[in-house]
Amino acid sequence: MSLRLFDTESRTLRDFEPLIPGHVSVYLCGATVQGDPHIGHVRSGVAFDVLRRWLLAHDYDVAFIRNVTDIEDKILVKAAEAGRPWWEWAATYERAFDWAYDKLGVLPPSIEPRATGHVPQMIEMMQRLIDNGHAYASEGNVYFDVRSYADYGSLSGHKLDDVHQGESAGEGKRDPLDFTLWKAAKPGEPTWATPWGRGRPGWHLECSAMAEFYLGSAFDIHCGGMDLVFPHHENEIAQAKCSGDDFANIWLHNGWVTMGGEKMSKSLGNVLSVPNMLERVRPQELRYYLGSAQYRSMLEYSDEALQVAAKTYQGIEAFVLKTRDRAGDVPVGTWTAAFAAALNDDLGVPKALAQVHGCVREGNSALDAGDLSAAVQIAGTVRAMLQVLGIDPLDPHWAGQVADTSAISAALDVLVKAELDRRQQARKDKNWAVADEVRDRMAAAGIEVTDTPNGPEWSLKGH
Three-state SS string over the chain comes to CCCEEEECCCCEEEECCCCECCEEEEEECCCECCCCCEHHHHHHHHHHHHHHHHHHHCCCEEEEEECEECCCHHHHHHHHHHCCCHHHHHHHHHHHHHHHHHHCCCCCCCECCEHHHHHHHHHHHHHHHHHCCCEEEECCEEEECHHHCCCCCCCCCCCHHHCCCCCCCCCCCCCCCCEEEEEECCCCCCCECCCCCCEEECHHHHHHHHHHHHHCCEEEEEEEEHHHHHHHHHHHHHHHHHCCCCEEEEEEEECCEEECCEECCCCCCCCCEHHHHCCCCCHHHHHHHHHCCCCCCCEECCHHHHHHHHHHHHHHHHHHHHHHHHHCCCCCCCCCHHHHHHHHECCCHHHHHHHHHHHHHHHHHHHHCCCHHHHHHHHHHHHHHHHHHCCCCCCHHHCCCCCCCHHHHHHHHHHHHHHHHHHHHHHHCCCHHHHHHHHHHHHHCCEEEEEECCEEEEEECCC
Domain co-membership, 180 together with 247: yes
Domain co-membership, 58 together with 29: yes
User: Which of 234, 254, 274 is the C-terminal boundary of a domain?
Assistant: 254
Domain co-membership, 313 together with 415: no
Write out pLDDT tens, residues 124-181.
999 999 999 999 999 999 999 999 999 999 999 999 988 888 887 778 999 999 999 9
In a domain, 312, yes or no: yes
Domain co-membership, 427 together with 339: no
For the whole model, what pTM was predicted? 0.86
Domain co-membership, 352 together with 454: no
In a domain, 8, yes or no: yes
Domain extent, residue 360, equals: 304-398
Domain co-membership, 313 together with 449: no
Here the CATH number for the domain that contains residue 311 is 1.20.120.640
What does each of the 463 residues of the chain score in pLDDT, given as a tens digit?
Answer: 899 999 999 999 999 999 999 999 999 999 999 999 999 999 999 999 999 999 999 999 999 999 999 999 999 999 999 999 999 999 999 999 999 999 999 999 999 999 999 999 999 999 999 999 999 999 999 999 999 999 999 999 999 988 888 887 778 999 999 999 999 999 999 999 999 999 999 989 999 999 999 999 999 999 999 999 999 999 999 999 999 999 999 999 999 998 888 887 766 656 789 999 999 999 999 999 999 999 999 999 999 999 999 999 999 999 999 999 999 999 999 999 999 999 999 999 999 999 999 999 999 999 999 999 999 999 999 999 999 999 999 999 998 775 544 444 555 667 788 888 888 888 888 898 888 888 888 888 778 777 765 577 777 665 5
Domain co-membership, 446 together with 355: no
Domain co-membership, 204 together with 320: no
Domain co-membership, 391 together with 412: no
Domain co-membership, 189 together with 327: no
Domain co-membership, 231 together with 353: no
Say how many domains are in the chain: 3
